[in-house]
């Protein structure tokens, strides 16, 4: 079993979709924790000889620590990465806080790529679902069902009139096919 580093919940390897246990250098985040919009970052180590709770004023050390933590998170859960925000740490010694870091370029690009994929995926699923209409062979008793299905799928798939004509032509049989053929350009 493997434990999530953030929420401390335990998962079977199969449930976590892992083949082997991650090493100590590879932190594991469950799906729920990795999909959070904000990534919590551990506080950078304090300098020697200073009180506990005071953070080193060395911005280079802070940047290294933040980069190390983010690299671990990104490599461990690259397929689940949504957005990474770096939480600024106050510099207790100087009395001023660091400005919040900008969103990481990689994560911003990944997030926009993921949103585009999500939109395309839903459109693709809708178009697959709404692409086909019930076959209509020209019988009057089948017309209401065919028309209702056509109107519903047109709304869901946002088809144009020309696309609808092609769908009707493809899904018509017998007498209905002959009547539709006259309408086609």
Tens digit of each residue's pLDDT (9 = 90 or more) over 148-165: 888 888 887 788 888 888
User: pTM, whole model, 2 decimals?
Assistant: 0.29
103/44 same-domain check: yes
| Of residues 108 and 14, more confidently modeled | 14
Residue 47 pLDDT > 70, yes or no? Answer: no
Structural domains counted in the chain: 2
**Distance separating alpha carbons of residues 158 and 62, to the nearest angstrom:** 51
Given this model, what pLDDT does residue 66 score?
59
- Specify if 44 maps to a domain: yes
At a CB cut-off of 8 Å and minimum separation 6, what does 22 contact? 2, 28, 76
- Specify if 113 maps to a domain: no
At a CB cut-off of 8 Å and minimum separation 6, what does 111 contact? 82, 83
> In the predicted model, what is the mean pLDDT of residues 121-146?
65
Residue 12's pLDDT band (cuts 50, 70, 90): confident
163/76 same-domain check: no
> Tens digit of pLDDT for each residue in 62-115?
566 656 655 555 544 444 444 444 444 443 334 344 444 333 444 444 555 555
Residue 145 pLDDT > 60, yes or no? Answer: yes
- Specify if 112 maps to a domain: no
Question: How far apart, in Å, are the Cα atoms of 20 and each of 4, 30, 66?
Answer: 15, 15, 27
End residue of a domain, out of 107, 135, 163: 107
Average pLDDT of the chain, as a whole number: 63
What percent of the chain lies above the pLDDT cut of 90?
A: 0
| Of residues 184 and 23, more confidently modeled | 23
Domain holding 95, by residue range, is 2-107
């Amino acid at each position: 079993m493997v434990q999530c580093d953030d929420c401390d919940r335990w998962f079977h390897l199969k449930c976590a979709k892992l083949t082997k246990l991650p090493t100590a250098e590879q932190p594991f985040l469950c799906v729920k924790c990795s999909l959070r919009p904000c990534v919590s970052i551990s506080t950078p180590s304090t300098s020697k000889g200073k009180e506990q709770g005071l953070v080193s004023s060395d911005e280079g050390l802070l940047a290294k620590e933040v980069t190390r933590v983010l690299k671990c998170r990104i490599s461990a859960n690259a397929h689940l990465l949504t957005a990474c925000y770096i939480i600024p740490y106050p510099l207790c010694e100087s009395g001023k806080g660091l400005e919040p870091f900008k969103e990481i370029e990689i994560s911003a690009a990944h997030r926009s790529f993921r949103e585009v994929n999500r939109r395309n995926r839903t459109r693709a699923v809708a178009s697959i679902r709404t692409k086909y209409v019930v076959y209509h062979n020209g019988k009057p008793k089948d017309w209401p069902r065919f028309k209702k299905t056509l109107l519903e799928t047109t709304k869901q798939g946002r088809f144009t009139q020309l696309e609808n004509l092609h769908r009707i032509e493809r899904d018509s049989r017998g007498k209905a096919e002959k009547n539709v053929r006259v309408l086609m350009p």
